[in-house]
Structure 1
Amino acid sequence: MTPLDSAWLAAHPLPLPDQDTDKNARGRVLAVGGSEKVPGALRITGEAALRAGAGKLQLATPERVALQLGLHMPEAAVFPLPVNETGELAASCGQRIAALLDRCDTLVLGPGTGADCPAGDIMSAALADPAEILTIVLDAAAIAAAADLRDLIRNHRGRVVFTPHPGEMAQLMDCDEAQVTDDPDAIARAAADRFAATIVLKGPETCIASPGEDMLLYPGGGPGLATGGSGDALAGIIGGLLARGASPRIAAAWGVWLHGEAGRRLAERIGAIGFLGRELPAEIPALLDAAR
């Protein structure tokens, strides 16, 4: 077990853009998710990706909320998607998402989606043709759906990052949640090996597992991070770092650290609990500058 601390970060720096870079060279993120019940989730994810340094952002979300989301995020291109009878993304979204992938470097799939989202059908279509340049973050409903898509995920050859909390990890690995909380590092390692992916198992302490690598352990950013929207921010931060060119393990580790330290800063200014998930992304640029 290796601590995720300033020494580890210094030994594993993020790629930095050239002074003459443009927005395409800084990386393009496509974030897909949200629902009619949670229409604002992608706003947090998208802002987090841009705050982490991505150059361009696309958002794909339920058609009834797409316009409002675009008005709240004028930096992003927005694509409306059909929904099912529960207001979640429809199974037919998969093909539409696949058609957008040649315009992005990183796909963040799942923030703001719920149990009624047919994420397995969506992923089966969207991710059927692996692209060597595409990195992927799977969050929320996409995590549980991946349990039955092992070969599909493995075909992306280590370019996938999962961001489960213990309940989602239990669904992913078809085990009791108590097994996850009792031995999180073992479960995270097993999932990393099973899916040939990087696993960010969230909790009071966060475990980061990648096949063939030391387990990383982050002690946590405090109880204030246990709030709605916090996970959406983490998925976006990791997505933004991937789009910039960081490897999945480096992006996951830096994303967890930035997310946690953003929580610490907000706790110092606002209080240990009570800050909002949407307040996390604005802390990221200063943290990145301070860590250089």
Structure 2
Amino acid sequence: MTDAQRLDSRWIAANPPPVHGDGTTKNSRGRVLAIGGSRMVPGALRLTGEAALRAGAGKLQMATIESAAMGLGLLVPEAAVLALGEDSDGEIVGERCEPLEKSLDTCDTVVIGPGIGSSTAAAAALRLALSNRRDDMTLVVDAMAIGCARDLRGALAGFRNRLVITPHHGEMATLTGRDEGEIADAPEAIAVEIAAEYGAIVVLKGSETVIAAPDGTVLLYGGGGTGLATGGSGDVLAGAIGGLLSRGTLPPVAAGWGVWLHGQSGRRVATTSGPIGFLAREVPGEFPRLLPQ
């Protein structure tokens, strides 16, 4: 493992995301497909989707359970919405769906996991994406889908170096089989280990976020303040990373920029709303002010 670097203004200046000039279209700005949601958390994809658009993605599609699809589409009128089958618990059913397969064939980045409340549903959604893998597609695995990656490691190998995994300590414990205490004691080493094992950029979230690459490179970010420790904050981060990836940002840079945008935007919101009590949905609105023009 190499020495850890600080994710600070110097790193940000040295690693800019693509800047889109004249002649840019919404397709060339990047196409994100977010898969998730459930009856219990029907609005999670709103947070993910808005973050992807605010991070500069040109087009957004959101795939969620049928009963939530219409409401989600009204909340995010800039996006297309796909209605998926749902079970009696209000979770995604992993049946084949022609519109979803078409979206998987044309998107640049897939974000899977926000708002899913069942490991069975998360695994089904992840399998759908993996069965439609393309060599030019990038993948963000978030929330409940992270634990499912453990049993789908072979299929995920096809996304090596095009994969970002975004666990908090509890999700990392599920993925690794370790307890949370072990992870808290050695977050950098464990993040590097999982990054190498999966060929992924690992964003291990915490009061200090660790971003590890398969080559052992580590970035450390001191966090955007306690206000970001709120429901939906991780959904926003996953969307920010997905939006940056869709624009052609390399995974290590997309992860770094996504964490930085999320944290710095949290700090900005805190200056006007107070350090605690602002909402996750308030954070993406700050992204455009921080992104290079």
Bin the TM-score by the shorter chain.
over 0.9
> Residue 145 in 1 paired to residue 135 in 2?
no
Q: Which residue of 2 aligns with 1:230?
A: 233
Cα-to-partner distance string for 1:219-253 (whole Å, 9 max, x where unaligned): 11111100011111000000000001001110000
Q: Which residue of 2 aligns with 1:209?
A: 212
> Residue 78 in 1 paired to residue 81 in 2?
yes
Question: Structure 1 pair 61/121, CA: closer, same or farther in 2 (3 Å)?
Answer: closer
Cα-to-partner distance string for 1:56-102 (whole Å, 9 max, x where unaligned): 01010110010111111110011000112211111326776444211
Indicate which of 19, 22, 29 corresponds to 1:19.
22
> Residue 193 in 1 paired to residue 219 in 2?
no
Q: Which residue of 1 aligns with 2:291?
A: 288
Equivalent residues, number: 290
Indicate which of 53, 56, 70 corresponds to 2:56.
53
Greater Cα shift, 250-259 or 106-115: 106-115
Identity rate of aligned residues, in percent?
54
TM-score (norm 1): 0.96
Greater Cα shift, 89-98 or 133-142: 89-98
Residue 129 of structure 1 deviates from its aligned partner by 4.3
Residue 114 of structure 1 deviates from its aligned partner by 1.3
Cα-to-partner distance string for 1:236-283 (whole Å, 9 max, x where unaligned): 000000001001110000000000001101111111110000101101
Could you list the structure 1 runs, at least 4 aligned residues long, displaced by more than 4 angstroms after superposition.
93-96
* Structure 2 SS opposite 1:227: coil
Q: Which residue of 2 aligns with 1:101?
A: 104
> Residue 122 in 1 paired to residue 125 in 2?
yes
Question: Structure 1 pair 214/164, CA: closer, same or farther in 2 (3 Å)?
Answer: same
Counterpart CA distance in 2 for 1:98 and 1:2 is: 40
Supply the AA of the counterpart residue of 1:276. Answer: L
Counterpart CA distance in 2 for 1:94 and 1:40 is: 22
* Structure 1 SS opposite 2:164: strand
Residue 116 of structure 1 deviates from its aligned partner by 4.8
Q: Which residue of 1 aligns with 2:260?
A: 257
For structure 1, list consecutive stretches of 5 or more residues without a partner in the other structure. Answer: none
Counterpart CA distance in 2 for 1:162 and 1:265 is: 26
Counterpart CA distance in 2 for 1:273 and 1:238 is: 24
Q: Which residue of 1 aligns with 2:33?
A: 30
User: Could you say what the CA RMSD is over the residues aligned between the two structures, in angstroms?
Assistant: 1.4
